[in-house]
Amino acid sequence: MMKKILKMLATAALGLGLLAGPAMASGGAQKNAPDHDYSFEGPFGTFDRAQLQRGWEVFRQVCSSCHSLKYLRFRNLAEPGGPEFTIEQAKAFAAEYEVQDGPNDEGEMFTRPARLSDAFPSPYPNEQAAKAANNGALPPDLSLIVKAREGWYYPWYISPFIKLVKGNGGAEYVRALISGYEEPPHGEEKEGLNYNPYFPGHWIAMPPPLAGEDVEYLDGTPNTVEQEATDVAAFLAWVSMPKMEERKKIGFMALLYLLVFALLMFMVKHAIWSNVKH
Amino acid sequence: MSGHASYEFKNPVVRWIEERLPIFSTIRAQAVDFPTPRNLNYWWTFGGIAATMLVVQILTGIVLVMHYTPHVSMAFDSVEHIMRDVNYGWLLRWLHANGASFFFIAVYIHIFRGLYYGSYKAPREVLWMIGVLIFIAMMATAFMGYVLPWGQMSYWGAVVITNLFSAFPIIGETIVQWLWGGFSVGNPTLQRFFSLHYLLPFVLAALVFLHIWALHVVGNNNPDGIDVKSEEDTLPFHPYYTMKDLYAILVFFLVYLGFVFYSPWYLGHSINFAPANPLSTPAHIVPEWYFLPQYAMLRAIPDKLGGVLVMFSSLIILLFLPWLDTSKVRSNRYRPLGKIFFWLFVITCLTLGIAGSQPAEGAWLTVARIATAFYFAYFLVILPLLGKIERPKPMPASITEAVLSRH
């Protein structure tokens, strides 16, 4: 019922937004990301474990060659509410990476295979190295990227309602950005930049990261550009909000409790005031 | 809050304490028997709701401080540590961040209720003025709190707002450097904001105590705006208003927690999930929603110093309201013109809020200027004149008569 009402509101809001479309098309406005029905949307939405596991493969085999994920620890991969790999799988993933540790008893820094408690290692030793390797552009850390970006831009009188129902569209933005590169209009070219209608200003330093068949999906899901983009955006959404499932679960109990409490208090209040004209 | 009634207590320990510090009779007189007008509506519950939000903010804030690190290179990381590693840290953080917004929602409703029913008029001038000080103190507290996560909007908000003080001639630059503790917004700025963000809520709590004290000296105003004349006009605070307030608080919490659990960053800015970067200015620097009307007034004035003065005046002018409104009638229920202008004033404030969220250019700038002019005209022209020319509706003789005539 609730979901139906929300859907109707969203549709109505979108309709109004579309009417206002032409007004915002002028100027180099960002293109709205296409909506995608992610499993983690809505008050009862949860992450799709298989999708997060596929997204993790895309991230570590493609994105991680330039982007860090500094707030993700390997243990998170095995925690409830995420991709829920087994502890053994998470340990095995960690062991594939070398991290610096030390100093040891001789005062020397050394490297060792990563453990569950380690953060996902950055591909570059520091910001300057990252910029030097990428034409002066810094590949941002992706730990919070889904919360830090927005997918849709509607006029002020409709935007608050759309965002209330559909969220900020961060996952849709990431999905659209990495799978939505286009030929620049009028054959324009910019040195070291690529045309992408979803990026603010439309010119982005990152070359198209996905070509299709970039990773092999063990569960038989077709590894098209769109599917890989959808999966890695879902994975990054989980990294941005690792406690989402716990939050919604506790929220449901808390609100239910409050609702019953409030109804009881209404009856108490009503009974106390029933003999007084006010 | 001296107890006016004398109470007999049976328990000898209570009696022994009571003779040395009359705390039990005071509680009894002020929190239980306190005579409260019988006709208060639900708009009167927002004072208690606001006080509850202050308590929520202080409690969640104290625990957050146990895990937060006020340093430019660690603040953002420590907030993520709270979100990811601290048990229920995400819950504390979202209760606190959304708590600020809902504290403002409660206080704004509380202020507009006071405006509509003339709660600032004699003999409640001091009660009202303490309320204005609470409002200003909580704005300062909220502003400094928003800086602490040290995201992009935290940093650039701090840069824009502290820079306002440079508009003052001669001493401006000195003031700004004194606020920063250096030559730019940096670590000393963050650390002093943290210190003051922890201190000011306790100042707020003290002001709230004075606010309630003043309330208990003069008694509640009420929707009919007429004085309490006899005992039948009132009800004891407990259980009538304790239970009604509790019910209202629970309904308010349903909405508040709805945001905490299902849209926790809806009221914030996405860009604040990117760490502060002094080298990259966000496309639009916008304050939190509760500062948007003041922000619109600041930007409506073409002159920087003028804008700063207008913005601060929009708050200071509230202190003079009890003397600017010349009408003898408190409640807008009996003021046909006052009612119309009150709602125009509400629309003006909402319009300023929307204008504040938009880039200050083109039509929005014109709208903000007209709305700013009306904001000040309401206090400086309309309210002083209205009292002279308005013919109020006939008033009931007493609260009881007003109540019974409606049944």
pLDDT of A213 higher than 50: yes
- In whole angstroms, what is the distance from residue B84 CA to residue B77 CA? 10
Asked if B29 contacts B217 with a C-beta cutoff of 8 angstroms, the reply is: no
B289 contacts chain A (CB < 8 A): no
What pLDDT band is residue A22 in, cutting at 50, 70 and 90? Answer: very low
Token readout for B138 is 């909580």
A210 Cα to chain B: minimum distance (Å): 24
Asked if A138 contacts B277 with a C-beta cutoff of 8 angstroms, the reply is: no
Neighbours of A7 (CB within 10 A): 12
Token readout for A168 is 């900020």
Predicted confidence at residue A27, as pLDDT, reads: 40
Helix (H) or strand (E) holding B236: strand B234-236
CATH value of A1-68+140-242 in 3.40.50.300, 3.30.565.10, 1.20.140.10, 1.10.760.10: 1.10.760.10
Taking all residues of chain A, what is their mean pLDDT, rounded to a whole number? Answer: 91
CATH value of B41-405 in 1.10.600.10, 2.60.220.30, 1.20.810.10, 3.30.70.890: 1.20.810.10
Predicted confidence at residue A23, as pLDDT, reads: 37
Query: The tokens 């209205």 sit on which residue?
Result: B386
Of the candidates B196, B161, B154, B162, the residue with the CA atom closest to the CA atom of residue B178: B162
Q: Which of B83, B250, B254 to mutate to test the interface with A (most CBs of A within 10 A)?
A: B250
Average of per-residue pLDDT across A218-245: 97
Nearest-10 crossing angle of helices B187-218, B46-65:
150
- In whole angstroms, what is the distance from residue A246 CA to residue A195 CA? 39
pLDDT of A11 higher than 80: no
Average of per-residue pLDDT across A200-209: 95
B191 contacts chain A (CB < 8 A): no
Helix (H) or strand (E) holding B25: helix B23-27
Predicted confidence at residue A12, as pLDDT, reads: 54
- In whole angstroms, what is the distance from residue B179 CA to residue B185 CA? 9
User: Residue A51: what residue type?
Assistant: Q
Strand A110-113 versus strand A203-204 pairing type: unpaired
Average of per-residue pLDDT across A82-87: 98
Predicted confidence at residue A29, as pLDDT, reads: 67
Tell me the ipTM for this assembly.
0.93
B281 Cα to chain A: minimum distance (Å): 14
Predicted confidence at residue A28, as pLDDT, reads: 53
Task: Compute and round to an integer the Cα radius of gyration of chain B.
Answer: 23
CB < 8 Å to B283, chain A:
200
CB < 8 Å to A148, chain B:
270-271, 273-274
DSSP state of B110: H
Query: The tokens 């009408």 sit on which residue?
Result: B327
User: Contact B273/A278, CB-based, under 8 Å?
Assistant: no
Q: What is the pLDDT of residues A119-142, one digit of tens each?
A: 999 999 999 999 999 989 999 999
Q: How far apart are the first and last CA of chain B?
A: 35
Per DSSP, helices labelled H in B66-88 are: 75-84
B403 contacts chain A (CB < 8 A): yes
pLDDT of A80 higher than 50: yes
B302 Cα to chain A: minimum distance (Å): 24
Of the candidates A264, A235, A196, the residue with the CA atom closest to the CA atom of residue A51: A235
Q: What is the pLDDT along chain B (407 residues), one digit of tens a residue?
A: 444 457 899 999 999 999 999 999 999 999 999 999 999 999 999 999 999 999 999 999 999 999 999 999 999 999 999 999 999 999 999 999 999 999 999 999 999 999 999 999 999 999 999 999 999 999 999 999 999 999 999 999 999 999 999 999 999 999 999 999 999 999 999 999 999 999 999 999 999 999 999 999 999 999 999 999 999 999 999 999 999 999 999 999 999 999 999 999 999 999 999 999 999 999 899 999 999 999 999 999 999 999 999 999 999 999 999 999 999 999 999 999 999 999 999 999 999 999 999 999 999 999 999 999 999 999 999 999 999 999 999 999 999 999 999 87
Predicted confidence at residue A6, as pLDDT, reads: 53
Q: Nearest Cβ partner of B253 from A167, A248, A258?
A: A258
CA angle at B142 for the pair B204 and B221, rounded to the nearest 5°: 50
DSSP per-residue codes, B25-82:
HHHIIIIIS-EEETT--GGGGHHHHHHHHHHHHHHHHHHHHTT---STTTHHHHHHHH
A265 Cα to chain B: minimum distance (Å): 5
Predicted confidence at residue A26, as pLDDT, reads: 36
